[in-house]
Amino acid sequence: MRWKLCTAIPVFLCLALATAHADTPQERPTATPADDSLRIGIFPRRRQTLTLRLFTPLARFLEAELQRKVVLESAPDFASFWPRIADYRFDLVHFNQYHYLRSHRDYGYQVILRNEEFGESTIAGVLLARRDSGIETLADLRGRKIVFGGGRMAMISYIVPTYLLRKAGLREGDYSYQFALTPPKAAIAVYYHQAAVAGTGHRILNLPIIKKELDVDDLHIIAQSEPLAHLPWAISPHMDPALGRRIRALMISLRDSDAGRAILTAARVTAFVPTQDADYDPHRRIVREVLNEQY
């Protein structure tokens, strides 16, 4: 089998000032595939080299079952990943919930599956603090610094935690904030006193990288959102619908065999769950309230 994996770019713990993203719908260009390969894009939830390693078994499985070349790609950060979606670079794409809402409205991508992780197909946004910080409720965040994981397009680590802040009566100016490159780096920043609170997902303390890096007992969740549909997988509007259904069935079937479950374990998921667009309506409501964007 032939493979093409993107060049690794190391990602270090760093904080960046907030940057805005426009919400202007784009005209949909015509896809111009260069060959018959299936191109899979995986968003940079983790560092790029790790992302490619985790999903290589899945790519090989699809390549064998579909009898066509599979190209697996990621990116060093969210900002460089998004333009590839707008350019229809990917046939199958795994990204966050906000990415999906925008790509569905502006470019016609259609969700087919979502992750199940730790046996759950939903995820909640949280705000996380050190236990010794004296921070117990959202009211304690006035005048404090928050670090969000992943940037303004991070659904669970920025948009949902910001929604919790707004519901508690906190607005921009009541607190300062910065972004870490990834949600784990946001939690690590709080652990090392670089910020008072981190915005991230509710399973952050279960991640191997976090357990290895810090003592999770030193951190606690001070606010948590409702459960929301987990990270989606979507297909390009240019994909043959029959191929989309085949990919969906193949990925769902992984939970039914030892070999399939090994592929799931490698990708750090417990299953891929059938999903439809309406499952992301709660996310649309939250985005509308936080960003005033209509999807």
pLDDT tens string 231-242: 999 999 999 999
Residue 119: Cβ within 10 Å count: 7
Nearest C-alpha neighbor of 45 from the set 73, 68, 76? 76
3-class DSSP assignment, residue 180: strand
Element (H, E) at 145: strand 145-149
Among 17-31, 142-156, 169-183, which stretch is predicted with the lowest mean pLDDT? 17-31
Quick: pLDDT tens for 8-60: 333 333 434 333 343 444 444 444 445 689 999 999 888 899 999 999 999 99
Q: What is the rounded CA–CA span in Å between residue 91 and residue 71?
A: 10
Residue 212: Cβ-neighbour burial (10 angstroms; 0-12, 13-18, 19+): exposed
Please report whether residue 86 resides in a domain.
yes
The pTM of this model reads 0.83
Please report whether residue 254 resides in a domain.
yes
Range of 71's domain?
Answer: 36-120+229-291
Here the CATH number for the domain that contains residue 155 is: 3.40.190.10
Among 6-20, 54-68, 96-110, 234-248, which stretch is predicted with the lowest mean pLDDT? 6-20
41 with 91, same domain: the answer is: yes
3-class DSSP assignment, residue 177: strand
116 with 241, same domain: the answer is: yes
Tell me the two tokens of residue 97: 């919930």
85 with 43, same domain: the answer is: yes
Final residue of a structural domain among 225, 246, 266 = 225
82 with 200, same domain: the answer is: no
197 with 130, same domain: the answer is: yes
Contact 294, 288 (CB under 8 A): yes
Contact 240, 154 (CB under 8 A): no
Packing angle, helices 258-266 and 48-66, rounded to 10: 150
Final residue of a structural domain among 225, 241, 270 = 225
- Give me the number of domains the chain comprises: 2
93 with 176, same domain: the answer is: no
217 with 136, same domain: the answer is: yes
Q: What is the rounded CA–CA span in Å between residue 295 and residue 61?
A: 34
208 with 82, same domain: the answer is: no
Final residue of a structural domain among 225, 240, 274 = 225
